[in-house]
Amino acid sequence: AASIGEFFMQQGRDVLVIYDDLTHHARAYRELSLLLRRPPGREAYPGDIFYIHSRLLERSTHLKAEYGGGSLTALPIVETHAQDMSAYIPTNLISITDGQIYLSPTLFQKGIIPAVEVGRSVSRVGGKAQVRAYQSVVGDLRLAYAQFEELEIFSRFSTRLDEQTRKTLDRGRHVRETLKQPQYQPIPVAEQIAVLLSVTNGVLDPVPLARIEEAEHAIRRAVTEKLPEICRDIHAGNPFPQESREQFLKVAQQAVDALLETG
């Protein structure tokens, strides 16, 4: 797959190779190595398994124009046991790659799909790869969601919660609801920004959880129709100033108020 990808990359194409999955690849390599009586290392894997995976993934690159100008992106998939990210193979791959998206079976069992665990999913390229408008919303979102998850665990042991804790828990449930997304239904970047801004700034707080999806559609439709220029700037990767944020929030608030008034 990597060789085929390199062929197209050298023709100036942008290629994505998905390795599904390198845990099984490592197990097969371990089994063959043990049968060949090679010295085992950590978790009985041969000592060169890190070299094998790094040599494979580091074939991903972006060529200069004089060499074709193509690119090859690798998306390795790794399986964890008992959600242990500190195991040998996951640790190796995390050290090689530019970040990871962690899909939690616990979230999946709760019906939260895609089951991306925000706390364990990180990027080591961050703002350099993001649309610039994301940088103004993801910090608040991650902080709010992290506080919610921590409080949600402790709230199970006590029914006596102060008003601020109740508000934090309620806001967190709204954040979680907005992070759900149906399969095969991608959402444009500007509409994502509008929804995330709304939920982190409390616009969606009065909306019942059962109507969050309805409110999201109302907000997305409103910003697309009323603020097309700002949407185009976001898609173009331009800065997202405070004035644009306030306009987004104002339009979102109007959309939510109209929704609640209609019942």
Which residue numbers are catalytic?
Answer: 124
Q: 131 near 103, Cβ under 8 Å?
A: no
Identify which of 176, 171, 193, 177 has the alpha carbon closest to the alpha carbon of residue 247. 193
Compute the residue count for the chain: 263
Long-range contacts of 125-128 (CB under 8 A, 24+ apart): 125/98, 125/99
Phi, psi of 19 (to 5 degrees): -95, 105
Identify which of 135, 105, 137, 140 has the alpha carbon closest to the alpha carbon of residue 120. 105
Whether the bond into 114 is cis, omega within 30 of 0: yes
- Rounded Cα–Cα distance for residues 137 and 142 (Å): 9
User: Which amino acid appears at position 74 of this protein?
Assistant: A
DSSP secondary structure letter of residue 99: E
User: Which amino acid appears at position 51 of this protein?
Assistant: Y
Whether the bond into 21 is cis, omega within 30 of 0: yes
